Amino acid sequence: MDTSRFSSMPTANGEPVFASPWQAKTFAMAVQLNESGVFTWSEWADELSTHIAEFEKSSSIVDSDQYYTLWQSALETVLSRKGKLS
């Protein structure tokens, strides 16, 4: 992908893409594990959706800490199911 001509430009209308380093880390782990074939993106989206739906039974996502906490939970669940954590 040629993105060099945009490399010095802001990417998200001035907002930081990640609010803290752990958000970036859990994001990147899921993307890399998908690309190395540990799970498909559909599997991932299903897992994340399930965690979000469960959370939203009793609460609401209002900030990115909550969102990426659910992301991390989904990641732990999918890896556990695939026997990658034992």
Partner 1 sequence: MGDLPSNHHHHAPASEIEERVKKLESLLIEKKLVDPQSLDKLVDTYEHRVGPKNGAAVVARAWTDESFKQMLLEDATAAIATLGFGGRQGEHMVCVENTASVHNMVVCTLCSCYPWPVLGLPPAWYKASSYRARAVSEPREVLQEFGVALAHEVEVKVWDSTAEIRYLVLPMRPQGTEDYSESQLAELVTRDSMIGVDVLSASR
Task: Count residues near partner 1 (CB under 8 A).
Answer: 63
Q: What is the CA radius of gyration of the chain?
A: 15
Tokens of 41: 């993106």
Q: Is 37 a residue that touches partner 1 (CB under 8 A)?
A: no
- The CB-of-6 to partner 1 minimum distance in angstroms stands at 4
Q: Site for partner 1 (CB under 8 A): which residue of 22, 39, 78, 83?
A: 22
Which alpha helices (H) appear in the chain, and where do they start and end? 21-35, 41-56, 64-81
Crossing angle of helices 64-81 and 41-56, rounded to 10°: 120
- Please check whether residue 13 is in contact with residue 58, taking contact to mean a CB–CB distance below 8 angstroms: no
Q: Is 78 a residue that touches partner 1 (CB under 8 A)?
A: no
Residue numbers at the binding site for partner 1 (CB under 8 A): 1-3, 6-7, 9-13, 15-20, 22, 24-29, 31-33, 35-36, 38, 41-42, 44-46, 48-49, 51-56, 58-70, 72-73, 75-76, 79-80, 84-85
